């Protein structure tokens, strides 16, 4: 019976493994745990807007050229559909819903879908957290239209498409400078647009950016709009000191103003780093709670790639499998 059909007094449904999240990490964990006969339940989330869809960040990407195995590249949504199909093929149950609450204080862990004051919907012997992270965005309407069409949040993923073009990077932290340095290998020019008159980035990164002849700066300036209907054509800018408005032509824009891991559900239960990412032990996927594992961008504030997320999903599946075996399952 699906939890939607279950009566309010229904008994919680026991599961050996519940995977929360459906990006490359969660779906890889599903493929591995399904093939290990653990009959995983993957709770994939549910769409609440264009930028909040099951499947993770690749659902917001156009062409993916750096995922091994696809020599001619593949569209992000198609790649995620393949992951999903492969997970389902081995018997993963995929639930299109959001987890509203978890209680990790004792095993079996409790997982709620929907009304979190009622009985839990599921009891899980182990949980793999793969809820990912989101790139922070500027909050402009145009971002929804142009993401993947000249607007990107990942230079490593998309920089190659911008050969010999004039590109803007928004932000002033280490990410913005790192993205700008990477993009300068391909682009004609890279302009860092920052809302203050000094970078937040570390001194060494600042020096590198200042020494790079392709990198220019526009200071004390915010982006008010991204121009272009079907692809990026430029930016509408406002100088915060003079209030002067201007329009500058760019064919690529990279927003690099930080990331936010999706860890709200676990706050107070799982150990988090200061920046909100989940802490995993050593090179494993183990969290501070035995039986709870974390994989993908929710615990990775450094590599943030689809292939590293998939790899860590595999690690979490193997860690969960060994844990369950030790518990006699």
> Phi, psi (5° rounding) for residue 292?
-115, 125
Query: Which contiguous run of DSSP H or E holds residue 250?
Result: none
157 in catalytic set: yes
From the list 136, 128, 103, 135, the residue with the least C-alpha distance to 265 is: 103
The dihedrals phi and psi of 157, each to the nearest 5 degrees, come to: -75, -45
Confirm whether 174 is a catalytic residue. Answer: no
Does residue number 258 form part of the binding site for ligand NAP (CB under 6 A)? yes
Cα 68 from Cα 58, distance rounded (Å):
15
Of 116 and 156, which has the nearer Cβ to ligand NAP? 156
* Burial grade of 242 (CB within 10 A; 0-12, 13-18, 19 or more): exposed
The answer to the question of residue 171 lying near ligand NAP (CB under 6 A) is: yes
Alpha-carbon torsion 269, 277, 46, 81, what sign? negative
Task: Please tell me whether residue 273 binds ligand NAP under the rule CB under 6 A.
Answer: no
Task: Please report whether residue 257 would count as binding ligand NAP according to CB under 6 A.
Answer: yes
Q: Does 263 bind ligand NAP (CB under 6 A)?
A: no
Residue 168's SS3 state is strand
Active-site pick, 103, 157, 225, 264? 157
Q: Is residue 314 flagged as an active site residue?
A: no
Choose between 82 and 212: whose C-beta lies nearer to ligand NAP. 212
- Candidate ranges 86-94, 113-121, 175-183, 243-251; the one touching ligand NAP (CB under 6 A): 175-183
> What number of other Cβ atoms are within 10 A of residue 65's Cβ?
13
Burial class (CB in 10 A: 0-12, 13-18, 19+), 174: middle
Residue 178 makes contact with ligand NAP by CB under 6 A: yes
Q: Which of 195, 150, 147 is nearest to 172 (CA)?
A: 195
| Out of 35, 101, 200, 216, the residue judged to bind ligand NAP by CB under 6 A | 200
Closer residue to ligand NAP, CB minimum distance, 122 or 277: 277
User: What is the footprint of ligand NAP within residues 63-92 (CB under 6 A)?
Assistant: none
Q: How far is the CB of 306 from ligand NAP (least distance, A)?
A: 18
**195 near ligand NAP, judged by CB under 6 A:** yes
Q: Among 149, 163, 196, 329, which residue interacts with ligand NAP (rule: CB under 6 A)?
A: 196
- Does position 138 interact with ligand NAP (CB under 6 A)? The reply is yes
Active site residues: 154, 157-158
The residue ranges that bind ligand NAP (CB under 6 A) are 138, 170-176, 178, 195-196, 200, 257-258
């Amino acid at each position: 019976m699906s939890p939607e059909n279950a009566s309010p007094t229904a008994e919680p449904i026991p599961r050996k493994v519940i995977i929360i999240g459906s990006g490359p990490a969660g779906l890889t964990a599903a493929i591995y745990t399904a093939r290990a006969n653990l009959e995983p339940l993957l709770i994939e989330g549910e769409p609440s807007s264009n930028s909040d869809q099951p499947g993770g960040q690749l659902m917001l990407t156009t062409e993916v050229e750096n995922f091994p195995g696809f020599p001619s590249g593949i569209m992000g949504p198609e790649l995620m559909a393949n992951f999903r199909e492969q997970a389902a093929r081995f018997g993963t149950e995929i639930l299109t819903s959001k987890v509203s609450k978890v209680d990790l204080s004792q095993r079996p862990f409790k997982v709620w879908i929907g009304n979190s004051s009622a009985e839990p919907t599921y009891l899980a012997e182990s949980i793999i957290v793969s809820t990912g992270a989101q790139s922070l965005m500027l909050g402009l309407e145009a971002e929804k239209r142009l993401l993947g069409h000249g607007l990107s949040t990942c230079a490593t993923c998309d920089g190659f498409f911008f050969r010999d073009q004039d590109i803007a990077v928004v932000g002033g932290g280490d990410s913005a400078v790192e993205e700008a340095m990477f993009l300068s290998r391909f682009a004609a020019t890279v302009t860092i647009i920052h809302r203050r008159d000094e970078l937040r980035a570390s001194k060494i990164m600042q020096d590198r950016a200042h020494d790079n002849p392709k990198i220019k700066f526009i200071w004390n300036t915010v982006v008010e709009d991204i121009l272009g209907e079907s692809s990026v054509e430029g930016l509408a800018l406002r100088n915060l000191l003079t209030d002067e408005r201007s329009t500058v032509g760019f064919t690529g824009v990279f927003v690099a103003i930080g990331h936010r891991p999706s860890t709200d559900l676990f706050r107070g239960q799982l150990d988090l780093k200061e920046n909100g990412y989940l802490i995993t032990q050593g090179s494993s996927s183990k969290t501070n709670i035995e039986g709870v594992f974390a994989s993908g961008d929710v615990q990775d504030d450094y590599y943030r790639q689809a292939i590293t997320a998939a790899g860590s999903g595999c690690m979490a599946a193997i860690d969960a499998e060994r844990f369950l075996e030790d518990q006699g399952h």
